[in-house]
């Protein structure tokens, strides 16, 4: 009955080793000091997996031959190896080479501020690759060892895919397709080709539910009958639902979306691993799947919102008018670059709070320059990172690392929040909602309960913002602007910091 390709124990062992290498790769990321070694383990694991597959699946020319038994049943797989198919070998190596060149060139050229888009784009590729592999397996199941060839009394022989493999395959194609179309939308939003504002279709929950039920229905049909129609319907509808799910989600919720798609790309790989009985793929899929799920959880917790409410979308679309109206009529203080430079020079400790605005303005390098200047004046400089600052988990950390800020000056929210009370200057650059004290006090605020950085506890808050009109993503006014100890620095983040640096000499 079991018709899988003969499993050579050495081959299985090689895939297992590859899987272990991937575990070690993630393990290495527990500290920056071991992380590069971890990444190399990942490369080794991948090399083992790829070489093993290449060696065990050399393309060959087969001579057709069907040996039938006395009752017409097929005794052998129907062909034997005649020679190595050199053309196919060249094609495969060329395909790898083309991919390698594109990948490496992209990785070298990409700006660090564009990392969220790049990751979304890479996710879409994994999703599409999963769909293609599932389709290939569906069209040629015998090659994947997941089907029995049945020769009926009348008509040509045909392959019946094992029922378990059908489920695994349809799962793989569905998750892959959702990953692909969802990531494409996420990419377009992050890259600015599509507005960051949530796009709300009428009746979207009903539509999504309908499409999801249809997918389940056709998947069930495929399991029962192996019908091509059901297979393609699942594929098409999954592409559609990936699109529908991500379109209504706003820009600042992208950290959750990107993590979620990361998770999906893992589950897609795991489903294909089940189909192919390949331990490397299953281990990787499980690792990546749980990694993405944990990251989504961390991001949701950092916003005090449930995963479902983020996925339901629409946050920040309706709250805007109220917040903006209240903004104009309260007194606030405006500062200049000279004031800021003077205040920080006198300070003992300055905590810098970067947000997405810093990434947009590309201000990280000049910010580090400012930090260096301050250190020359004997000021202690620290950086405070909110988990959802930026557009993906760890976004701010990468940008600061790019600007050569040592990672031991960069702190997470829970490690530094108690220090604001003993800090002379909190310097907020391009962040807003993550500093809003309303999250602690105002039960009616949409961000109530979200952990925030207590910048208002510092002696002075310097708040860089482009203008007083706009509100943060959540559409709520920030009380910090109007406090006695706050000085608003209204300008483009990069220009303002450059000015401050000039004034620090």
As measured in angstroms, the least distance from the Cβ of 11 to other proteins is: 11
Nearest to 23, CA basis, from 260, 277, 279, 255: 279
Taking CB under 8 A as the criterion, the residue among 46, 214, 312, 317 binding other proteins is 46
Looking at 11, 59, 211, 495, which residue binds other proteins (CB under 8 A)?
Answer: 59
- Name which of residues 190 to 209 contact other proteins (CB under 8 A): none
Closest to other proteins by CB, 112 vs 319, is: 112
Contact status: 90 vs other proteins (CB under 8 A): no
Strands 460-465 and 486-490, how do they pair? parallel
Identify the helix (H) or strand (E) that includes residue 465.
Answer: strand 460-465
- Residue 61 binds to other proteins (criterion: CB under 8 A): yes
Q: Is 74 in the site for other proteins (CB under 8 A)?
A: no
CB of 236 to other proteins, least distance (A): 16
* 428 φ/ψ sector (left φ>0, alpha ψ -120 to 50, else beta): beta
Query: From the list 19, 242, 251, 335, which residue makes contact with other proteins (rule: CB under 8 A)?
Result: 19
230, 253, 433, 477: the catalytic one is: 433
Taking alpha carbons only, the member of 142, 136, 143, 134 closest to residue 166 is: 134
113, 117, 133, 496: residue in contact with other proteins (rule CB under 8 A): 133
Give 245-304 as a DSSP string: HHTTS-GGGHHHHHHHHHHHHHHHHHHHHHHHT-HHHHHHHHHHHHHHHHHHHHHHHHHT
For other proteins, the binding residue among 17, 74, 129, 211 (CB under 8 A) is 129
- Stretch of residues binding other proteins (CB under 8 A), selected from 200-208, 230-238, 279-287, 453-461: 279-287
Cβ 91 to other proteins, closest distance in Å?
Answer: 6
CA 173 to chain centre: 19
Regarding 79 and contact with other proteins (CB under 8 A), the answer is yes
Q: Which of residues 293-322 bind other proteins (CB under 8 A)?
A: 294-295, 298
Residues that contact other proteins, how many (by CB under 8 A): 124
Measured CA distances, 251 to 67, 143, 403, 436 (Å)? 61, 43, 25, 19
Q: Tell me which stretch binds other proteins (CB under 8 A): 26-34, 206-214, 337-345, 418-426.
A: 26-34
Contact flags string 362-381 toward other proteins, x per CB under 8 A: ----------x---------
Least spacing, CB of residue 282 vs other proteins, in Å: 5
Establish if 119 lies at the interface with other proteins (CB under 8 A).
yes
Question: How far, in Å, CA of 407 to CA of 405, rounded?
Answer: 6
**Stretch binding other proteins (CB under 8 A), from 215-223, 385-393, 460-468, 488-496:** 385-393
- Does 67 contact other proteins by CB under 8 A? no
Q: CB nearer to other proteins: give 26 or 490.
A: 26
Q: Which residues inside 400-419 make contact with other proteins, applying CB under 8 A?
A: 401-402, 404, 406-410, 412
Token duo for residue 450? 């979200």
Question: What's the sign of the alpha-carbon dihedral 167, 173, 178, 183?
Answer: positive
Distances (CA, A) of 421 to 350, 417, 439, 458: 11, 8, 18, 5
Strands (E), 321-447: 349-354, 380-385, 410-412, 425-429
Taking the least distance from each CB to other proteins, the nearer of 147 and 504 is: 147
Residues 391 and 130: their CA atoms lie apart, in Å, by: 26
Looking at the DSSP assignment, which residues form a beta bridge with residue 68? Answer: 74
433 is catalytic: yes
Contacts of 416 (CB under 8 A, 6+ apart): 351, 382, 384, 453
CA distance 69 to 36: 58
420 belongs to the binding site for other proteins (CB under 8 A): no
Question: Which listed residue (242, 250, 355, 387) binds other proteins by CB under 8 A?
Answer: 387
CB of 438 to other proteins, least distance (A): 25
**Torsional sign, CA 20, 22, 24, 27:** negative
Output 257 or 439, the one with its CB closest to other proteins: 257
Q: Which stretch binds other proteins (CB under 8 A): 90-98, 190-198, 201-209, 324-332?
A: 90-98
**Active site residue ranges:** 433
């Amino acid at each position: 009955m079991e018709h899988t390709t003969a499993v050579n124990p050495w081959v299985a062992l090689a895939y297992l080793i590859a899987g272990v290498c991937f575990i070690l790769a993630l393990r290495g990321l527990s500290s920056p000091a071991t992380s590069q070694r971890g990444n190399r383990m990942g490369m080794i694991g991948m090399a083992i997996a790829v070489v093993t597959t290449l060696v065990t699946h050399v393309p060959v020319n087969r001579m057709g031959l069907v040996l039938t038994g006395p009752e017409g049943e097929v005794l052998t797989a129907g062909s034997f190896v005649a020679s190595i198919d050199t053309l196919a070998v060249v094609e495969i190596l060329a395909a790898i080479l083309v991919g390698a060149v594109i990948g490496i060139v992209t990785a070298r050229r990409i700006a660090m501020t564009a990392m969220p888009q790049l990751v979304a784009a890479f996710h879409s590729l994994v999703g599409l690759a999963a769909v293609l592999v599932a389709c290939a397996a569906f069209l040629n199941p015998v090659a994947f060892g997941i089907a029995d060839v049945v020769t009926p009394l009348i008509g040509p022989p045909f392959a019946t895919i094992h029922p378990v493999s059908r489920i695994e395959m349809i799962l793989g194609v569905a998750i892959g397709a959702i990953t692909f179309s969802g990531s494409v939308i996420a990419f377009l939003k992050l890259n600015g080709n599509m507005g960051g504002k949530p796009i709300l279709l009428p009746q979207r929950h009903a539509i999504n539910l309908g499409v999801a039920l249809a997918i389940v229905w056709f998947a069930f049909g495929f399991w029962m009958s192996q019908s091509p129609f059901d297979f393609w319907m699942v594929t098409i509808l999954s592409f559609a639902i990936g699109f529908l799910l991500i379109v209504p989600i706003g820009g600042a919720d992208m950290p959750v979306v990107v993590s979620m798609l990361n998770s999906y790309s893992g589950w897609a790989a795991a489903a294909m691993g089940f189909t192919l009985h390949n331990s490397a793929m299953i281990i990787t899929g499980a690792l990546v799947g749980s990694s993405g799920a944990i990251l989504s959880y961390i991001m949701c917790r950092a916003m005090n919102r449930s995963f479902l409410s983020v996925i339901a979308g629409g946050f920040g679309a309706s709250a805007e008018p109220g917040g903006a109206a209240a903004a104009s009529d309260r007194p606030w203080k405006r500062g200049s670059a000279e004031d800021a430079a003077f205040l920080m020079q006198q300070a003992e400790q300055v905590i810098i709070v970067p947000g997405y605005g810093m990434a947009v303005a590309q201000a990280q390098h000049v910010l580090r320059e400012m930090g260096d200047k301050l250190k020359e004046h004997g000021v202690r400089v620290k950086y405070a990172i909110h988990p959802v600052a930026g557009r993906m988990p760890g976004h701010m950390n990468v940008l600061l690392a790019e600007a050569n800020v040592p990672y031991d000056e960069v702190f997470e929210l829970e490690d530094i929040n108690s220090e604001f009370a003993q800090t002379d200057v909190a310097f907020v650059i391009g962040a807003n909602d993550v500093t809003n004290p309303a999250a602690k006090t105002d039960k009616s605020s949409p961000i109530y309960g979200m952990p925030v950085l207590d910048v208002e506890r510092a002696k002075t808050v310097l708040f860089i913002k482009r203008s007083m009109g706009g509100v943060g993503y959540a559409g709520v006014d920030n009380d910090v602007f109007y406090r006695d100890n706050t000085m608003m620095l209204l300008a483009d983040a990069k220009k303002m910091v450059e000015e401050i640096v000039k004034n620090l000499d």
